[in-house]
Amino acid sequence: MEEKQVDKEKPASEMVQISKKEWQKVQDQLAMLYNVADKGRIQSYEKQHQGKQLLKVKLSVYDGKYIVGWRVVEDSYTYHPTTGQLVGETQTIEVELLDKDNKRSIVKLNGYKKFSDIRYTERVEVSVVSKKEDVSGNWTFDVELPDGRILSLDSRFVN
């Protein structure tokens, strides 16, 4: 257990001195109470008595670039000629990337599996600086990237 240095700028009336033995006894009792307490109530209390917490979201990263958007370009189905049952699906998805120099590029992916792989393989947590709702109920987040840049993103492209 670390000991803090005594703050010499505080008046003596604000300082309390107790022995190490008494200090340890208080610490042990505090630990015991915390361990036997209802964890849900502790979390509720801490949430009510803490300062405003920043909202955190995750952005996907592909090839060192942030994924800032995507759209399905092609989504076609293949049916069996005799039975008419669905036997396959062809998808092409365009993914918009943002690099370190704020240049945007587009990568085309064939198949949802490939898209899902790049979307969930590497992710980075960022802080939401502000959020806005348009008249249709869609949210836009202004997020702070790890390098300090602020980026506006549709809520569909985070987490």
CA–CA distance, 41 with 53 (Å, rounded to integer) = 19
pLDDT recorded at residue 1:
46
Domain ranges of the chain: 18-48, 56-157
Q: Are 61 and 128 in contact (CB under 8 A)?
A: no
- Could you give the 3-state DSSP secondary structure of residue 36? helix
Taking alpha carbons only, the member of 30, 45, 35, 57 closest to residue 131 is 57
Q: Are 61 and 123 in contact (CB under 8 A)?
A: yes
- Is the full-model pTM beyond 0.85? no
Res. 85: pLDDT tops 70: yes
Q: What percent of the chain has pLDDT over 90?
A: 37
CA–CA distance, 107 with 150 (Å, rounded to integer) = 23
